[in-house]
Amino acid sequence: MSILGSLDWNDIFIVPFFTEPSLSTGIAAGAGGVVVLGALAVMVLLTVKGWWKPLWSNWITTLDHKKIGVIYIVLALIMLIRGVLEAVVMRAQQVSPAPGFLSVEHHAELFSTHGTIMIFFVAMPFLTGVINVVMPLQIGARDMEFPFMNAVSLWLSIGGAALVMASLVVGHFETGGWTAYPPYTGIKLSPNEGVDYWIWSLGLTSVGSTLSGINFLVTIYKQRAPGMKLFDMSIFAWATLCTAILMIFAMMPLTVASLMLALDRQAGFHFFTATQGGNMMNFANMFWLFGHPEVYILILPAFGVFSEVIPTFSGKKIYGYTSLVWATIAIAVLSFTVWVHHFFTMGQTANLNAIFGIATMTIGVPTGVKVFNWMLTMWRGKLRFSTAMLFSTGFIFTFVIGGITGVMLANPTIDFATHNSLFLVAHFHNMLIPGLLFGMFAAVNFWFPLCFGFRLDEKWGRRSFWLWMIGFYGAFMPLYAIGLMGAPRRMAFFTEPAYFPWLVIAMLGALCVLAGLIAQVIQIWVSVKNRESLMVPAGDPWDGRGIEWSLGCPVPEYDFTTIPAMTSREPWVDAKEAGKRIMDPTEFVDIHLPKPTGMPFLVGLVATLFAFAMIFQMWLIAAVGFVAMWVLVLIRSYDTDWEETITAEELREGYEAHKRLVETTPQIRLDDEFTTKNRGLIMETQV
Amino acid sequence: MSNTGAAHAASHDHGHHDKTGTVIFGFWIFLMSDLIAFSLMIANYADAEWHGIANGPSPHELFSLGLPTIETMALLISTFTFGICTLGMKYGASMKRTVGWLVLTLALGAIFLGIELYEFHEFWTEGNTPQVSGFLTAYYSLVGLHGLHVTSGIIWGILLMVQMKTFGMNDLIKSRLVRLGLFWHMLDIVWIALFTKVYLMGVL
Ligand code: HEM
Ligand SMILES: [Cu+2]
């Protein structure tokens, strides 16, 4: 076998179009072309503008948790664009006359990449990014506990995403859905590199996520501001803590299952091959031992976001803090007890199904508690419908519908009828779009000023919300209907005329979602253009409640000039009520921040090369890559000079400067919050 | 995988409170996630040992207790010697003694590994390769995963001794040694589970 393993000319994205020209191969070639041209365009732009150097020194080598968070979010947005475009193509495929313009294989590749991308390369980086930016600021920490490891996680995730992008250009992705069940994904039925793309791109990100989970957990345990008890933390920090625990325990089953699949495929092992004593159900069990906690990894951070946004824009403190915390913990624990509901139909006994069905319904209880908490927080508040608040209220409304269909599916007898139908597809999109994306959109709109110093444009924000909201209903309510009429999921085309009108509505809905996404791109564009008038240098543009709002915007690299004194659950609110516009400093001391380093980037790069080599069976290159990765880690372990000091004096100057700024910023009324008068720190005393 | 946590965690202790304690805490958490991998492999083995025989041998036909017992003793003793090594370090033993106990520990680890590889080799030449049945797949993977961990522990130990030479016994090195110790002891505990499940119950 050659050093290039199984790679050959036919794997290059445009070749199939010339050997078998069709619309399907044309679209594939076009998508590959977009990736290549996009990459080239970025490089040209960077070169022309002379941005390589700042990119390297300010971003790629950064260990600052806020910047790492921003990079995660940018990654998520780029992948979101691809995911939504794929969804639109699938929708178009199903409304065009059967058998549609895509080959069945190509359609299968689309739902597989769409699902994989949305879960692992949109949702995961998005929430990891938001946690990175916000959580340390909310607990009064200066950084993650392990900043270097944090950057390694980032670059592993980017590596995984890069592999999925590469599958558009070199070879193919798999066609077995985001769950990649064997035996279909075994070597016999899926001989090409597609499944290996799935295995290794997920391998990289899931190691990254495990490390992130460890990082978040240790940070929360060890880095809270002195005096902050666990039950003084913000709800978002609580959500992060529970998410972190889920990440630590849930990613491993995925890694194990996918490596077993790799051994079956490449080494002739028999974990899942039924003829030789393997057992496919072990895959299903392990996958969902990961998969179900995963959906709570996806949803808990968003719950945390809503629990910050809703009190702020209701002008009230969160209703029932303790019950919300316990509900979060309960959800995290229960999430490990329900995985079998993903395969009620696979032949276990009715009693087992009943137990897991009941366990599943139980999760509805703590979730219901939360919904009431949010509603009661809004009750009699003075509501202000910012973009973030719109997404939050839109979430509550929509999510409850998804919850109800979830309880329906939890009933095994109903699930037997709806398993693998579009009803299920409607259900989980109904959970994930409000319960994950809306949360992340709210987070970006809410916390954006912390990173960049200016607010996002509200007009385009509101437009994007309405387009997403209406688009969601258009795209997925019809799927409930045709799902109940019997339409299975993962079909390349339907020949049943009764489905057709519904599919057309779903198509229009998907286009509306796409328009929402475009509105968001415009929103960012317009905001960057008008940033001068959107600046909020004094910080706290929305009369916020968490201590992150006691900082100026953008937040300086060292976050806090002095670690805030935690006198209560909401010391910043107390300070404002006492008429202060800046928190009293505690003690100025010299601090150490990690120096920027290119090492995490290199580790990620080498790991990605290793994974790519594994996909195409270039064993020699893979071995070299694997060893190189560890050599890099070893080199780093010799580096003892990894910190730079910021003196107490500099911090004091930072504090004084912020104080002067705050004192000269005019006070405005809450009603002017979304106007250009808002330079931060609105000071209207509230009831 | 196994020393990712360690090397990174070690590489950037910073700031405030008790950094060594924090890094060790982080490493504990990492070990817990590693334990999940072992638990899943054991569960998978427990299934394959019954339902995965296919045309291959059964555990009863394959295993005997002789070598595995010696193997187990080697690993158990190595945990003891590692304990002495870290305890000694805590009470200010000289570097030479610490290194001595570490060398002994790693040597015992190597003996363990040698026996394991010998056994793999024996099975393999009899035609009992992992490709024969679900059971053999599970056996090689479970025991092999543990073996890979021991291997990386040994490599880590050797690299650490080199670092002891360059850096001397500073806090960083001590913390790394403690983490290697945790790792090593965990492997021992995992092995007890493996020995019981695979060999003892297999032979019975
Ligand atoms: C933005 C609008 C979206 C649209 C229009 C959309 C559309 C679709 C369509 C048409 C399918 C294939 C259904 C079938 O099996 O026939 C699908 C599958 C899927 N989608 Fe989405 N989707 C969207 C967003 C999302 C989001 C945000 C997520 C997760 C965070 C997501 C996760 C998935 C998953 C996991 C699958 C299953 C893939 C599989 O069958 O393996 N989608 N989506
Ligand atoms: Cu589930």
pLDDT digits (tens, 9 = 90+) for A7-47: 888 788 888 888 888 888 898 888 999 999 999 999 999 99
pLDDT digits (tens, 9 = 90+) for A347-400: 899 999 999 999 999 999 999 999 999 999 999 999 999 999 999 999 999 999
Interface of A with B in 416-445 (CB under 8 A): none
Whether residue A269 and residue B30 make contact (CB cut-off 8 A), yes or no, is no
CA A152, B187, B84: angle at the middle one, nearest 5? 105
Give the percent of chain A with pLDDT over 90. Answer: 86
Peptide bond just before A554 cis, omega within 30 deg:
yes
- pLDDT band with cut points at 50, 70 and 90 for residue A686: very low
| Token couple for A376 | 């009661």
Instruction: Give the ligand with the smallest distance to the CA of A432.
Output: 1
Helix A124-138 × helix A439-452 angle, to 10°: 50
| Token couple for B196 | 């019981």
List the single residue in A with minimal CA-CA distance to B55: A276
Coil, helix or strand at residue A513: helix
Q: What is the pLDDT of residue B4?
A: 39
For residue B1, pLDDT beyond 50: no
- How many CA within 13 A on the CB side of residue A571? 23
* Contacts B14 to A, Cβ<8 Å: 143, 147, 592-594, 642-643
Ligand 2 geometric centre to CA of A412 (Å): 13
List the single residue in B with minimal CA-CA distance to A142: B15
Tokens 């072309």 appear where? A33
Helix B95-125 × helix B171-194 angle, to 10°: 30
* Of residues A145, A148, A210, nearest to B33 (C-beta): A210
List the single residue in A with minimal CA-CA distance to B145: A256
* Contacts A154 to B, Cβ<8 Å: none
- Diameter of chain A measured on Cα atoms: 77
Interface of A with B in 188-207 (CB under 8 A): 207
pLDDT digits (tens, 9 = 90+) for A488-528: 999 999 999 999 999 999 999 999 999 999 999 999 999 99
- Range in A1-10, A97-106, A289-298, B25-34 the model is least confident about: A1-10
Query: What is d(CA A432, CA A84) in angstroms, rounded to the nearest whole number?
Result: 14
- CB-neighbour burial class of residue B200 (10 A; exposed 0-12, middle 13-18, buried 19+): middle
Whether residue B52 and residue A592 make contact (CB cut-off 8 A), yes or no, is no
Predicted ipTM of the assembly: 0.91
H helix runs in A490-566, sequence order: 500-529, 531-534
Interface size between A and B, measured as CB pairs under 8 A: 149
pLDDT digits (tens, 9 = 90+) for A443-460: 999 999 999 999 999 999
Shortest alpha-carbon distance between residue A333 and chain B (Å): 16
- Whether residue A147 lies within 8 A of chain B, CB to CB, comes out as yes
Query: What is d(CA A150, CA A647) in angstroms, rounded to the nearest whole number?
Result: 25
* Contacts B141 to A, Cβ<8 Å: 260, 263, 269, 271
- Whether residue A286 lies within 8 A of chain B, CB to CB, comes out as yes
Ligand 2 geometric centre to CA of A296 (Å): 9
For residue B8, pLDDT beyond 80: no
* Of residues B1, B29, B133, nearest to A270 (C-beta): B133
- Ligand 1 site-directed mutation target among A77, A88, A93, A118, most atoms within 8 Å of CB: A118
Give the percent of chain B with pLDDT over 70. Answer: 91
- pLDDT band with cut points at 50, 70 and 90 for residue A3: confident
* Contacts A277 to B, Cβ<8 Å: 48, 51-54, 56, 133-135, 137
Instruction: Give the ligand with the smallest distance to the CA of A107.
Output: 1
CA-wise closest residue to A65 among A160, A158, A148, A139: A148
Ligand 2 geometric centre to CA of A286 (Å): 12
Over range A170-186, report the average pLDDT. Answer: 95
Which residues have C-beta atoms less than 6 Å from ligand 1? Answer: A 84, 87, 90-91, 111-112, 114-115, 118-119, 122-123, 177-179, 425, 429, 432-433, 436-437, 475, 489-491, 510, 513
Give the percent of chain A with pLDDT over 70. Answer: 99
| Token couple for A582 | 């800046």
For atom 32 of ligand 1, which residue has the closest CA? A115
Query: What is d(CA A178, CA A449) in angstroms, rounded to the nearest whole number?
Result: 35
Over range A144-171, report the average pLDDT. Answer: 95
Shortest alpha-carbon distance between residue A250 and chain B (Å): 8
pLDDT digits (tens, 9 = 90+) for B149-180: 999 999 999 999 999 988 888 888 999 999 99
Over range A187-209, report the average pLDDT. Answer: 96
Whether residue A642 and residue B163 make contact (CB cut-off 8 A), yes or no, is no
- Whether residue A218 lies within 8 A of chain B, CB to CB, comes out as yes
What percent of chain A is helix, strand and coil (3-state, nearest 5)?
70, 0, 30
Over range A538-550, report the average pLDDT. Answer: 92
Instruction: Give the ligand with the smallest distance to the CA of A108.
Output: 1
* Contacts B8 to A, Cβ<8 Å: 146, 148-149, 152, 211, 633, 636
List the single residue in A with minimal CA-CA distance to B130: A269
List the single residue in A with minimal CA-CA distance to B167: A638
For residue B14, pLDDT beyond 80: no
Q: What is the pLDDT of residue B16?
A: 44
Q: What is the pLDDT of residue A684?
A: 64
* Contacts B9 to A, Cβ<8 Å: 146, 149
Indicate which atom in ligand 1 lies nearest the CA of residue A490: 15
* Contacts A254 to B, Cβ<8 Å: none
Q: What is the pLDDT of residue B10?
A: 38
pLDDT digits (tens, 9 = 90+) for A85-115: 999 999 999 999 989 999 999 999 999 999 9
Query: What is d(CA B23, CA B175) in angstroms, rounded to the nearest whole number?
Result: 8
> Hey, what long-range contacts does A343-347 have (CB within 8 A, 24 or more apart)?
A343/A284, A343/A288, A344/A412, A344/A415, A344/A416, A344/A419, A345/A415, A345/A416, A345/A419, A346/A281, A346/A284
Instruction: Give the ligand with the smallest distance to the CA of A475.
Output: 1
For residue B13, pLDDT beyond 70: no
Q: What is the pLDDT of residue B7?
A: 40
CA-wise closest residue to A65 among A1, A142, A6: A142
Residues with CB under 5 Å of ion ligand 2 are A 292
The answer to whether the CB of A539 falls within 8 A of the CB of A121 is no
Residue-averaged pLDDT of chain B: 89
Interface of A with B in 101-140 (CB under 8 A): none
Q: What is the pLDDT of residue A685?
A: 53
Ligand 2 geometric centre to CA of A631 (Å): 40
Cβ atoms < 10 Å from Cβ of A368:
13
For residue A659, pLDDT beyond 90: yes
Residue-averaged pLDDT of chain A: 94
The answer to whether the CB of A431 falls within 8 A of the CB of A406 is yes
* Of residues B9, B22, B134, nearest to A279 (C-beta): B134
- pLDDT band with cut points at 50, 70 and 90 for residue B3: very low
Residue A594, phi then psi, degrees to nearest 5: -65, 140
Cβ neighbours for B185, distance < 8 A, ≥ 6 positions apart? B79, B82, B83
| Token couple for A213 | 């989970």
